[in-house]
Amino acid sequence: MLPYLDMAIEHADDEILRRMNRGITRGQLAERIERLRAEIPGMTLRTSVIVGFPGETEAAFEGLLAFLREIRFERLGAFTYSNEEGSAAFRFGDQVPEAMKQDRLDRLMRQQQAIAAEVNARWVGATCEAVIDEADPADEQQFIGRTRADCPEVDGVVYVRSARRLAPGSFVPVRITDSYEYDLVGTAVTDR
* Predicted confidence (pLDDT) per residue in 50-76, tens digit: 999 999 999 999 999 999 999 999 999
27 with 65, same domain?
A: yes
Residue type for position 187: T
How many Å is the maximal CA-CA distance in the chain? 63
Sheet containing 4-6: give its strands across. Answer: 4-6, 44-51, 75-80
pLDDT for 192 beyond 70: no
Segments forming the whole domain that contains residue 43: 4-121
CATH (domain of 134): 2.40.50.140
Average pLDDT score, the chain: 95
**Quick one: pLDDT band at residue 190, thresholds 50, 70, 90?**
confident
Report the number of distinct structural domains present in the chain.
2
pLDDT at 83 over 70: yes
pLDDT attached to residue 172: 97
Q: Are residues 8 and 86 in the same domain?
A: yes
How buried is residue 59: exposed, middle or buried, by Cβ count under 10 Å (0-12/13-18/19+)?
Answer: exposed
d(CA 67, CA 35): 16
Residue 45 reports pLDDT greater than 90? yes
Other CB atoms within 10 Å distance of the CB of residue 148: 15
pLDDT in the model for residue 2: 81
Taking only the tens place, the pLDDT of each residue in 114-173 is 999 999 999 999 999 999 999 999 999 999 999 999 999 899 999 999 999 999 999 999
- Rounded Cα gap, residues 46 and 40, in angstroms: 14
CATH number for the domain spanning 49: value is 3.30.750.200
What angle separates helix 58-71 from helix 26-39, to the nearest 10 degrees? Answer: 10
Q: Are residues 91 and 176 in the same domain?
A: no
Residue finishing a domain among 121, 138, 158:
121
Q: State which of 71, 95, 121 marks the end of a domain.
A: 121
The pLDDT of residue 191? 54
Do both 61 and 24 map to the same domain? yes
- What pLDDT was estimated at residue 97? 97
* Nearby residues of 163 by Cβ (< 8 Å), 6 or more positions away: 141, 191
